[in-house]
Structure 1
């Protein structure tokens, strides 16, 4: 089960009883490995209202209740470590409370953006280029320590979706002239140094990474050959660490915005392009997979495991349905995907979250 932002940790970014119910349903439904929703590593660097964090003790304790409950069902759960970088907003409540600016590798605003919880129609703003990236690396390290205290089985570094680690890797958002910008090796340095810090805490097989080589979302995406060269280098270097897994996202049209009349992404086949770079770490694939396609890819040894996302929203017993041929027929209400904020009651927050029925439990 891939990371799925659900924004139900109301009202203070602390995991709650409803979050426990959601994860337990899916652990009970047969999830082989759950990756938590994106979990914010610090108060600075947020966008989504009511997404959970892991920067303070209340959050650690809240996650410990979830990990204990998942383990009681025989499940495994990794924490996806997340920082939004330039796609945060200085007027977002948690960002303001942090007393820190919106940081990114370079002072370049992403195009687009929509912050429905702020007055008017604000879009992305020009961030502050972080002077010393080590301060951000240290935040990821502390989040890795906190995740261990919270009882997770490992951590996944989020390096996709146009968020902070992705921003360092992509030359369109990283124009630095120091050791963290310019060449492919320098742009890869930030993410690789975070991975090494996490491995020092967890050991290699308890650390993983999620990558989106096709770009597009949040105004990302290099020219095709530069994208391929960049990701081949980064993936090869990450693989040397013998990670728990390397998860790649396939191209999905819905995640590809249009600017100046053109799609933003660099569409290409991530399996054929990057599979040869992965020699030690298990290779996971995500985005738009059907169970039938996943079986074919695994049988052909093109991938080691299939990762499903949206299918898990409406089918808390997804693997059991696949195993027994039960139709995947949930009618998803996308207006409920990301919650509504703290003004909505506990019962209302269940809608589209914990009220999808399990067929085989």
Structure 2
């Protein structure tokens, strides 16, 4: 059975109105972990633009897991009402609210990307940079991590479960575990960054142990009718697609529903091979993981145009497409794409108070074209 970009998708007990997903995008605007009006504006406009699923930025499970001072955090019960407000905003815009949970690991205690030349924030007892082994990111400006003790690991596993419980209490419908891009879980998975000799290092089974314990802990508190996503760097230094496939086969047995297929960043670089970073450059990873494991996948990476996204879904290369910076450029991309693809009533992706006026505008005179199509 073929599907298209604007066909609904049901995962467990959650129904997405279309296959367009807003990726988690850091705003660097939190105040001691709390969201601000910046987050409300960002998530609200994405929801009203018509995406089916909106992911909140990587939200840290522990103060020690922060990447920057402005990171969001869900490490305390007192924060739940602040996130419940964001959930309500996204749902009111017509989208499903999702949250990505993260621990920055050895990429912690940093400045925002545009201030990378400035001195890093000072060390503190509640902001130690942690990793599986005391090995730094091989780029200037990163802090040397402290090797995590077994107690550190257990506390971190517990922190993920507590964070998932709070996400459930706040009302999120989808949860994603960030296990890619050189953050904590990714550094445990890779033999390049994990040189441990205990039960969390060495063999592939041991290196994946932290991820599996985190997933299992989350599933004790995350409802059975709500989906669980995992973001993976499917290809990276000393890591190939075959290793990803084996890992995903194991994750399927731990009640994971969707693999968010990215790549790279273990060594600090945003992609594994920058020479290959063209349109949809990571889509082949989503396609291969899906074909070889049978699990649903989400494609990411320079997905920009309506026909491009439509082809990914229509050809069965992925079940969802996630856009990031393109939605910063055009938050109404889903409506725009629906119109360009000839979807009946394309503005139905947005709330009726917006859809009504846009449909009326289209019928204003013969030959009308919106700014994303016109030549004037």
Question: Of 99, 107, 112, which aligns to 2:134?
Answer: 107
Please give the per-residue CA displacement for 1:123-166, whole angstroms capped at 9, x wherever unaligned: 12321111112221111111111111222112100011100010
Matches of 1:251 and 1:136 in 2, distance apart? Answer: 24
Contact 1:158 1:211 in 2 (8 A): yes
Matches of 1:268 and 1:306 in 2, distance apart? Answer: 9
Which residue in 2 is equivalent to 1:96? 124
User: In the alignment, does 2:270 pair up with 1:255?
Assistant: yes
Q: Per-residue deviation at 1:257?
A: 7.7
Matches of 2:183 and 2:257 in 1, distance apart? Answer: 22
Contact 1:44 1:95 in 2 (8 A): no
- SS of the counterpart of 1:37? strand
Matches of 1:95 and 1:62 in 2, distance apart? Answer: 27
User: In the alignment, does 2:322 pair up with 1:307?
Assistant: yes
Which residue in 2 is equivalent to 1:56? 76
Please give the per-residue CA displacement for 1:197-227, whole angstroms capped at 9, x wherever unaligned: 1122114542111111223xxxxx21xxx53
Matches of 1:102 and 1:17 in 2, distance apart? Answer: 29
Contact 1:250 1:269 in 2 (8 A): no
Which residue in 1 is equivalent to 2:94? 74
Moved over 4 A (4+): 90-95, 250-254
Please give the per-residue CA displacement for 1:210-253, whole angstroms capped at 9, x wherever unaligned: 111223xxxxx21xxx5334212211111223433211015799
- SS of the counterpart of 2:57? coil
Q: Per-residue deviation at 1:83?
A: 0.7
Which sections of structure 2, spanning at least 5 residues, go unmatched?
1-21, 111-118, 342-370
Q: TM-score, length-normalised on structure 2?
A: 0.73
Which residue in 1 is equivalent to 2:214? 194
Contact 1:79 1:156 in 2 (8 A): yes
User: In the alignment, does 2:232 pair up with 1:232?
Assistant: no
> What are the within-5 Å matches in structure 2 for residues 165-204 of structure 1?
165-204=185-224
The 1:179/1:86 distance shift into structure 2, 3 A limit, reads same
- SS of the counterpart of 1:162? coil
- SS of the counterpart of 2:83? helix
Contact 1:3 1:309 in 2 (8 A): yes
User: In the alignment, does 2:235 pair up with 1:214?
Assistant: yes
RMSD: 2.8
Please give the per-residue CA displacement for 1:7-65, whole angstroms capped at 9, x wherever unaligned: 122x3331122311221111111110011111111111222231211112443221111
Matches of 1:241 and 1:87 in 2, distance apart? Answer: 27
Question: Of 252, 259, 274, which aligns to 2:289?
Answer: 274
Matches of 1:316 and 1:125 in 2, distance apart? Answer: 35
The 1:227/1:249 distance shift into structure 2, 3 A limit, reads same
Matches of 1:277 and 1:240 in 2, distance apart? Answer: 15
Matches of 1:86 and 1:251 in 2, distance apart? Answer: 15
Q: Per-residue deviation at 1:87?
A: 1.4
Q: How many residues align?
A: 301
Which sections of structure 1, spanning at least 5 residues, go unmatched?
114-122, 216-220, 327-357
The 1:155/1:309 distance shift into structure 2, 3 A limit, reads same
Q: Which has the larger radius of gyration?
A: 2
Contact 1:214 1:268 in 2 (8 A): no
Question: Of 288, 300, 305, which aligns to 2:302?
Answer: 288
- SS of the counterpart of 1:125? coil
Contact 1:251 1:287 in 2 (8 A): no
Q: Per-residue deviation at 1:92?
A: 5.5
